[in-house]
Structure 1
Amino acid sequence: MSTSKFQRCFPEEFKAEAVRMYLDDPATTYTAVAKNLGVSSETLRNWVKQHRKKQGESPRYQAPTSENEGLVGYDAVIAEENRKLRAENERLRQERDILRKAAKFFAGETNW
């Protein structure tokens, strides 16, 4: 049993708008934009790749700025979130250690 495949043709304006929607929001994903437009995420990924190639950009690299430090869009968002989570994780470790010490101290004093 074979499956029939067909290709939908999209106007260049539609493709350009889809690429713009993806590139304008660094926190967005291919899947989210593609779902909104009714295309597959792989199709959108190919359009973005073609756009970047036409612009002379490497697909995963953008010149570093003080803001993104060489990271592109989604990667910059993930890096910032990781930094915040690491800081929170360290704070929670310190709080846990303080509570452990306090529990040991108070457990030793209660010799009824």
Structure 2
Amino acid sequence: MAAPMKYPPELRRRAVQMYREADPKPVIRRMAGELGVHPEALRNWIRQDEADQGERDDRLTTTEKQELAALRQENADLRRSCEILKAASAFFAQELDPTRRRY
């Protein structure tokens, strides 16, 4: 389960929009102080928006992150299923073994 968001999505969206529309670009630390958010939080929001807009390729887009999380969950589920099937297969192979003595 993901950690709860400290800042509301609307604040995040508006902060990034303010930064992108500003000319010249403001100092992130100063802008973050004015908005009452941590500078690194604002910096990460801006970077993520740039990735989502295709302006940077050094990080995954939001869609790619969601897809990766879903694939990791599916992989974990399949591994669990595989372990259950292996255990069941071993159990039934042992039960059907004609050379096995039953007491």
Task: Please indicate the TM-score interval, normalised by the length of the shorter structure.
Answer: 0.3 to 0.5
Identify the structure with bigger relative contact order (alpha carbons < 8 Å, sequence gap 6+). Answer: 1
**TM-score scaled by length of structure 2:** 0.46
**TM-score scaled by length of structure 1:** 0.42
